[in-house]
Structure 1
Amino acid sequence: MTALGFLYPGHSAEDDYPRIEQLLGSDIRLPLVHTDIGEDAHREDALRRMGSAARLAAGVEELRLSGAEAVVWACTSGSFVYGRQGAQDQVRALARAAGLPASSTSFAFAHAVREIGARRVAIAATYPDDVAALFAAFLKDLGVEVVAVRASGIMTAAEVATWGEPEILGLARDGDHPDADTVLLPDTALHTASHLPALEQELGKPVLTANQVTVWEALRLAARRVNEPALGTLFTKEPIVQV
C-alpha cells in the first residue's frame, strides 16, 4: 500500500482526489488535509499568505499519521507567486516539517512537461492577467517555453470550483495556441479529473491540469508509476530518457 499526502487550500475541487484514487487502484491512497485558505483571492499578497510556512506546517502532523510517504502542496498559485527560489524554499521547509519528500503543484507542472517531452506550452488560466503572468515567468525560469498565456480574470477559488465541463473545455480552447504541443490548466480549484479524456480529444494534444499533475508528482516522489488512460497522456506516456 502506498499513501501519498496532499495539503489542499480550503474547499473547492478536493473531490478530484478520491476520484483519482479510484482510478489508480486499490493499493494507492491519497489522504488529503485542508489548510487555511485565509482570504480567497487570486491576488499576489493573499496568495503569499495562503502559502506561508506556518499554514502548511499546520497540516503536516495529520498527514504523517496517515502514513503518507510523500507530501505535495496542492496549490499552484500559492507556490509560483514566490518565484523559483521562493517556491524551492517553500518545498524545503515543507519537507523538513513533514520529514518526507515534498513538492508543490507548480513544480509538478514543470516536471510533467518534461515527462511527456513537451517543447512548447500554452497556459489557459482561470487567474487574472498579473497572476497568470507570474506562472508563465515561473515556468520560463525552469526552462519551459511558454508560447501563449490566456487569463480568465477569475478572482476566487470558490467561483472557479463552480465551473463544469462546458466552461473547462472553453477555457482550454481559448488558451490553446497552434505553436503549443501541450496546454496547461493551472488551478487546483478547477474540477478536471473527470474531463481529461474530453479535454485531450477536444484539443488533439496533451492537456496537463493542476490536480492531475499534483497526484502524478506525488507518485513520482514515491517512485510509483501508474498507467491510467482516463487520467490523460501524462499517465500513459513512457518517460523521456534524458541524454
Structure 2
Amino acid sequence: MKTDLADGPAPQTGVGVVAPFDFRQDRELWRWVPGDVTVYLARTASVPSWDNLDMVSRLNRPSQVVGPTREVCGVGAEVVAYACTACAFTGGVERERALREAMRIEGARHAVTAASAAVEAIGQVGGTKVAVVHPYQRPVGDRLREFLTESGLAVADTTPLGLPVAQVYSVTYREVFDLVRRGDRDDADVVFVSCTALPTYDVIAPLEQELGKPVVTANQATMWAALRAIGKDLNGPGQSLALPSQETQSS
C-alpha cells in the first residue's frame, strides 16, 4: 500500500519521564517505545552529592518531581514516570507512593516510578524470588533489599558493584554482563538489574538466553509500566517483558 507522505507521521501519544539531574540514558529509553509514542523528558533540580545515600534521599522528596511533572504534562504527556530507581525506593513503600501521588496532583493521568515498575515487571514475568544486581554502595543496596521485601518479593541475594556515584555513569555493557552472571542464583526465578544509570537494552535478550530466566532492568521496567498505562506495547525484541502476558507466564 502506498503511503502519502503529505499525511505526515502517525499521531503521537506522549510519555513523560522525570529523570534525575544527572541522567544520561535518554537514548536507551527511546529504544523501548513504539513509533507512535513520543518521550518528553525533564530533569530534577541538581542536588549536592556527598555520597550515594545522601543524594538519592534528597531526590526521594516529592517536591523534586513537581516542576518536571508540570513540564512534561504541559506538552501533553499522558503518563509520567520517575526514572530513578533509588530515588523512589530509598524512603520505602510509603514514600514511593507519595512520589506517585505528587505526580498525579501536578497533572499526571497515570504515574509510575522505576521502583514500583520493577516490582510489577518482576511479577509480570512470573517472578517471586529475585536475584538483585546493582551498582550502589552498601547503604543504598540495603534500602533496595528492604523495599523489595516490603513489596512482597523474596530476595535470593544482592550483588553490588559498589561504585561511587561518579563512576556509575561509565559502566559498560561488558560490566553489566559480568555483574548479572555473577549475581544470578539457582533459586531465583528472575534477575533484576537496578539503577537507571546502567545501560541494559542490548544485554537483556542474550542474558535471558544464557541464564534461562527473565532479566528485568530498571529502565526497561520503567518504560514497560509507562507504556502499559496508556495501552501501548514495549519494543524489546527477545525480551521476556515484551512478550504478551500469556506467553510471559508460560515461558
Under a length normalisation based on structure 2, what TM-score does the superposition of the two structures give?
A: 0.87
Separation (CA, whole Å) in 1 of partners of 2:142 and 2:71: 34
Amino acid at match of 1:4: V
Task: Pick the aligned partner of 1:15 from 4, 27, 31.
Answer: 27
Q: Calculate the aligned-residue CA RMSD, in Å.
A: 1.9
Task: Pick the aligned partner of 2:82 from 56, 73, 76.
Answer: 73
Deviations 1:16-44 (A, max 9, x none): 122323xx2x2112221122241346632
Q: State the Cα distance separating 1:146 from its structure 2 match.
A: 0.8
Task: Pick the aligned partner of 1:225 from 216, 226, 233.
Answer: 233
Paired residue secondary structure (1:69):
strand
Partner of 1:200: 208
Task: Pick the aligned partner of 2:193 from 185, 189, 196.
Answer: 185
| Structure 2: runs of 5 or more not aligned | 1-11
Q: State the Cα distance separating 1:236 from its structure 2 match.
A: 1.0
Q: State the Cα distance separating 1:194 from its structure 2 match.
A: 2.4
- 1:238 and 2:238 equivalent? no
Aligned pairs for 1:85-234 within 5 A: 85-156=94-165, 158-226=166-234, 228-230=236-238, 232-234=239-241
Amino acid at match of 1:2: T
Q: State the Cα distance separating 1:223 from its structure 2 match.
A: 2.8
Separation (CA, whole Å) in 2 of partners of 1:207 and 1:35: 28
- 1:49 and 2:61 equivalent? no
**Aligned partners of 1:185 and 1:210 also within 8 Å:** yes
Separation (CA, whole Å) in 1 of partners of 2:89 and 2:76: 28
Which protein is bigger by CA-based radius of gyration? 2
Cα gap change, 1:41/1:182 in structure 2, threshold over 3 Å: closer, same or farther? farther
Partner of 2:9: none
Separation (CA, whole Å) in 2 of partners of 1:69 and 1:85: 24
**Aligned partners of 1:42 and 1:127 also within 8 Å:** no
Separation (CA, whole Å) in 1 of partners of 2:235 and 2:83: 21
Cα gap change, 1:178/1:37 in structure 2, threshold over 3 Å: closer, same or farther? farther
Under a length normalisation based on structure 1, what TM-score does the superposition of the two structures give?
A: 0.90
Cα gap change, 1:227/1:59 in structure 2, threshold over 3 Å: closer, same or farther? closer
Cα gap change, 1:42/1:119 in structure 2, threshold over 3 Å: closer, same or farther? farther
